[in-house]
Amino acid sequence: MGKYINLRGEQKEDWLARNGVVILEREAKNYLAIGKIPVCLLDNGMFTAAGICDTDSEIDAFSHPDGRMKLWYAVPAENLKEFL
């Protein structure tokens, strides 16, 4: 796992609300086929992380149950170019 949305001057949550739509985890792989990339917003307690899941294996890794709260978004691929 290695690609994340890191911003200066804006919260990840705000960026995701503007650029993506909330999806169900179980539907994440379906979005890759239509040009949208799943992003998993993880609550790590002291901070959040927005992991970009541009492959099936990334989706599998972020889907693994680990006790953290997770919210999934589908984001158009062109909106994520600066992070890839």
Please give the backbone phi and psi of residue 54, each rounded to the nearest 5 degrees, phi first: -90, 10
Q: Could you tell me if residue 74 is inside a domain? A: yes
> Does a structural domain hold residue 3?
no
The answer to the question of residue 31 being in a domain is yes
Residue 44 in any domain: the answer is yes
The number of domains in the chain is: 1
The pLDDT value recorded for residue 84 is: 87
Let me know if residue 69 belongs to a domain: yes
- Residue 59 located in a structural domain: yes
pLDDT at residue 1 in the model = 53
In a domain, 20, yes or no: yes
Beta-carbon contacts of residue 30 (< 8 Å; ≥ 6 apart): none
Encode pLDDT of 9-63 as tens digits: 999 999 999 999 999 999 999 999 899 999 999 999 999 999 999 999 999 999 9
User: Which domain, by its residues, includes 60?
Assistant: 12-83
